[in-house]
């Protein structure tokens, strides 16, 4: 079992990352400000114009540390990893099932079923906490999501399944804003490009963070992150990571993002408004990343394994369970059904 390690986030555009002996050293204006041993790292994320030497990339690859490059707004640009590891027979089975329309549909249904179940449960939790959500029809939407789960069984192809998934997502996001308890912050639905409000901006950012971790998780167990089932394969797109993130969006990211606003940890003053939408201010981005790291350390009981573990370990556990299913160790893929 892969243990939960740390991710080094560098957001200062004046920072430069160098390899020093068995550690990564961060320099600002030619002065070393911190050093982190390789064995304590699971990943490195570089924002904007943060630089690093080729020896850093080589050393990270050798130590199994992924390096992700994002722009200054947190949008994904590139991902650097070492040589592919894992059993070639595992990937061959992954490709074979993706070409089998029946098997592919069956796997995709597991992702969508877990996504809708978790979205419905999140709304139910908020409805119990905030009675005024009944005024926006949350009970009706919860019932509609339950019906969407039943519709999955009757889907005969991926297009029908994606239609059910898209409709359920629209219903879910239409009610999610009712759980916001922060003045001057309004969330009226999911709007990605560009993010039309602070909530959408933060959701997009942490979906990117989680998908990066799932990409690394897939590679760590020998899976090809580009060969998906629900999401069509496209050059450069980590379709399997996008499949796996569906079941984790609501319990891992959505609840976390709403809590940032409800606890006054973020407010409208933490964002810049531009023609492209809302974006984090530099200091606010660092603050939000710190809260994310804390959130990943919180303990949960995994619904399938029945083991206590940090929340941040769940992406790696799900990737491992999926690989066990492909190897035939499990009769079905145990998607993450939050409780």
- pLDDT tens column, 10-19: 878 888 999 9
What does the CA dihedral 212, 218, 219, 225 come to, rounded to 10 degrees?
A: -80
Q: How confident is the model at residue 170 (pLDDT cuts 50, 70, 90)?
A: very high
Q: Which residue has the tokens 């759980």?
A: 179
As a whole number of angstroms, the distance between CA 169 and CA 179 comes to 16
Question: For residue 193, what are its two tokens?
Answer: 């490009």
pLDDT 10s digits, 314-328: 998 999 899 999 999
Residue 149 has a pLDDT of 95
- Nearest CA to 322 out of 43, 94, 115 is that of 94
Query: Across all residues in the chain, what is the average pLDDT?
Result: 89
Residue 4 has a pLDDT of 47
- Burial class (CB within 10 angstroms; exposed 0-12, middle 13-18, buried 19+) of 265: middle
Long-range contacts from 64-68, C-beta under 8 angstroms, 24+ separation: 64/220, 65/38, 65/41, 66/42, 66/212, 66/215, 66/216, 66/219, 67/43, 68/43, 68/44, 68/212
Task: Give the number of other Cβ atoms within 10 Å of residue 91's Cβ.
Answer: 17
Q: Which residue has the tokens 């630089």?
A: 51
Chain mean position to CA 58: 26
As a whole number of angstroms, the distance between CA 194 and CA 210 comes to 19
In the chain, pLDDT over 70 holds for what percent of residues? 96
pLDDT at 245 over 70: yes
Residue 163 has a pLDDT of 97
Question: For residue 299, what are its two tokens?
Answer: 């303990």
Residue 74 has a pLDDT of 64
pLDDT at 336 over 90: yes
C-beta of residue 250 within 8 angstroms of C-beta of residue 210: no
Indicate the fold that domain 89-327 takes in CATH: 1.20.120
Q: How confident is the model at residue 182 (pLDDT cuts 50, 70, 90)?
A: confident
Query: What's the pTM?
Result: 0.84
Residue 221 has a pLDDT of 83
Residue 247 has a pLDDT of 97
- CATH class (in words) of the domain with range 6-80: alpha beta
Question: For residue 276, what are its two tokens?
Answer: 């492209």
As a whole number of angstroms, the distance between CA 262 and CA 50 comes to 32
Residue 81 has a pLDDT of 73
pLDDT 10s digits, 70-108: 776 666 777 787 766 667 889 999 999 999 999 999 999
Domain ranges of the chain: 6-80, 89-327
pLDDT 10s digits, 144-162: 999 999 999 999 999 999 9
Residue 84 has a pLDDT of 63
In the chain, pLDDT over 90 holds for what percent of residues? 58
C-beta of residue 206 within 8 angstroms of C-beta of residue 191: no
Q: How confident is the model at residue 1 (pLDDT cuts 50, 70, 90)?
A: very low
251-259 average pLDDT score: 97
């Amino acid at each position: 079992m892969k243990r939960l390690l740390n991710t080094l986030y560098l957001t200062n555009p004046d920072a430069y990352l160098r390899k020093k002996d068995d550690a990564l050293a961060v320099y600002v204006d030619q002065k070393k400000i911190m050093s982190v041993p390789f064995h304590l790292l699971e990943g490195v994320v570089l924002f904007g114009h943060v630089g690093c030497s080729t020896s850093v990339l080589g050393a990270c690859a050798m130590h199994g540390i992924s390096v992700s490059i994002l722009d200054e707004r947190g949008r994904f640009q590139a991902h650097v990893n070492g040589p592919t590891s894992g059993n070639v027979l595992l990937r061959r089975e992954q490709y074979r099932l993706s070409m089998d329309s029946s098997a592919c549909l069956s796997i995709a249904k597991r992702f969508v079923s877990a996504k809708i179940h978790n979205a419905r449960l999140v709304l139910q939790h908020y409805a119990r906490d905030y009675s005024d959500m009944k005024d926006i029809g949350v009970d009706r939407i919860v019932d509609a999501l339950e019906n969407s789960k039943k519709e999955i069984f009757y889907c005969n192809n991926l297009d029908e399944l994606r239609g059910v998934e898209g409709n359920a997502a629209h219903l879910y996001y239409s009610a999610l804003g009712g759980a916001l308890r922060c003045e001057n912050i309004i969330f009226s639905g999911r709007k990605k490009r560009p993010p039309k409000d602070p909530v959408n901006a933060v959701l997009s950012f942490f979906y990117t963070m989680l998908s990066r971790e799932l990409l690394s998780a897939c590679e760590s167990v020998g899976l090809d992150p580009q060969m998906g089932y629900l999401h069509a394969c496209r050059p450069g797109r980590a379709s399997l990571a996008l499949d796996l993130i569906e079941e984790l969006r609501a319990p891992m990211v959505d609840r976390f993002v709403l809590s940032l606003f409800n606890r006054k940890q973020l407010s409208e003053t933490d964002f810049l408004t531009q023609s492209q939408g809302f974006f984090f201010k530099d200091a606010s981005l660092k603050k939000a990343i710190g809260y994310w790291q804390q959130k990943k350390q919180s303990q949960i009981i995994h619904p399938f394994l029945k083991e206590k573990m940090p929340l941040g370990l769940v992406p790696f556990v799900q990737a491992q369970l999926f690989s066990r299913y492909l190897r035939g160790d499990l009769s079905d893929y145990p998607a993450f059904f939050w409780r």
